A and B are shown apart, each in its own frame.
Chain A
Amino acid sequence: MTLEVLLQGLIGGLLMGFVYALIAAGLSLIFGLMEIVNFAHGEFLMLAMFATFWAWALAGLDPLLSLPLTAALLFLLGIAVYHGLIRWILGAPMLAQIFATFGLAVFLRSAAQALWGVDFRLVKDPLVSGRISLGGLFIGLPQLVASVGALAAFAFLYWLIRKTETGRALQATAQDRQAAALMGIDTQWMFALGWGIGAACVGVAGGLLTIFFYVFPDVGASFALLAYVAVALGGFGNVPGTLAAGVVVGVVEVMSGLLIAPTLKYVTVFLIYLAVVLWRPQGLFGRF
Chain B
Amino acid sequence: MAPALRWGLGALALAALLAVPFVVTQPYPRHVFISIFLYATLAQAWNLLAGYCGQISLGHAVFFGTGAYTSSVLGKELGLTPWAGMVAGVALAVALSQLIGYPVFRLRGHYLAIATIAVGEIVQTLMLNWDWVGAARGFFVPIKRPDSFVNFQFHQSKQTYYYIALGLLLLALGVARRIERSRTGFYFRAIREDQDAAASLGIPVAAYKQRAMAWSAGLTAMGGTFYAQYILFIDPESVFPLSLSILICLVAVLGGVGTLWGPLVGAAILVPLSEGTRIYFGGTGKAIDLLIFGALIMLISVVQPGGIMALAQRGRRRTG
Judged by CB atoms under 8 Å, the answer to whether A and B touch is yes
Residue of B nearest to A271 (CB): B122
**Segment at the interface with B among A177-185, A195-203, A259-267:** A259-267
**Segment at the interface with A among B180-188, B205-213, B223-231, B282-290:** B282-290
Contact A95 B302 (CB under 8 A): no
Tell me the bound Cα distance from A85 to B129 in angstroms.
39
Evaluate whether A89 and B110 lie within 8 angstroms (CB atoms) in the complex, with A95-B257, A270-B121 already known.
no
A29 → chain B, closest Cβ, in Å? 15
Contact A277 B287 (CB under 8 A): no
Interface size on A, residues (CB 8 A): 45
Residue of B nearest to A228 (CB): B114
Query: Residue B109 at the A interface, CB < 8 A?
Result: yes
Interface size on B, residues (CB 8 A): 44
Query: Residue A96 at the B interface, CB < 8 A?
Result: yes
Chain B residues lying within 8 Å of A107, measured Cβ to Cβ, are: 291, 294-295, 297-298
- B interface residues, Cβ below 8 angstroms from A: 50, 54, 56, 58, 103-104, 106-107, 109-111, 113-115, 117-119, 121-122, 125-126, 128-129, 246, 249, 253, 257, 284, 286-288, 290-291, 293-302, 305
A56 → chain B, closest Cβ, in Å? 24
Report the tally of A-B residue pairs with Cβ distances under 8 A. 133
Query: Residue A65 at the B interface, CB < 8 A?
Result: no
Tell me the bound Cα distance from A106 to B294 in angstroms.
5
Chain A residues lying within 8 Å of B58, measured Cβ to Cβ, are: 98, 102
Contact A267 B126 (CB under 8 A): yes
| Residue from B107, B121, B297 within 8 A of A278 (CB atoms) | B107
B191 → chain A, closest Cβ, in Å? 14
Contact B305 A103 (CB under 8 A): no
Query: Does more than half of chain A's interface fall in helix, strand or loop, or is it mixed?
Result: helix
Query: Residue A104 at the B interface, CB < 8 A?
Result: yes
| Residue from A95, A105, A225, A270 within 8 A of B305 (CB atoms) | A95
Tell me the bound Cα distance from A271 to B110 in angstroms.
17
A36 → chain B, closest Cβ, in Å? 8
Among A88, A89, A94, A229, which residue has the most Cβ atoms of chain B within 10 A?
A94
Contact A102 B297 (CB under 8 A): yes
Chain A residues lying within 8 Å of B109, measured Cβ to Cβ, are: 94
Contact B129 A103 (CB under 8 A): no
Contact A264 B129 (CB under 8 A): yes
A24 → chain B, closest Cβ, in Å? 13
Evaluate whether A103 and B121 lie within 8 angstroms (CB atoms) in the complex, with A93-B305, A95-B257 already known.
no
Chain B residues lying within 8 Å of A148, measured Cβ to Cβ, are: none
Residue of B nearest to A31 (CB): B110
Chain B residues lying within 8 Å of A92, measured Cβ to Cβ, are: 301-302, 305
- A-B pairs, 4 with minimum CB distance: A107-B294, A103-B297, A106-B294, A103-B298
A221 → chain B, closest Cβ, in Å? 8
Residue of B nearest to A263 (CB): B129
| Residue from B118, B253, B286, B294 within 8 A of A105 (CB atoms) | B294
Chain A 91-119 interface 0/1 with B at a Cβ cutoff of 8 Å (1 = within): 01111111110111111111101100000
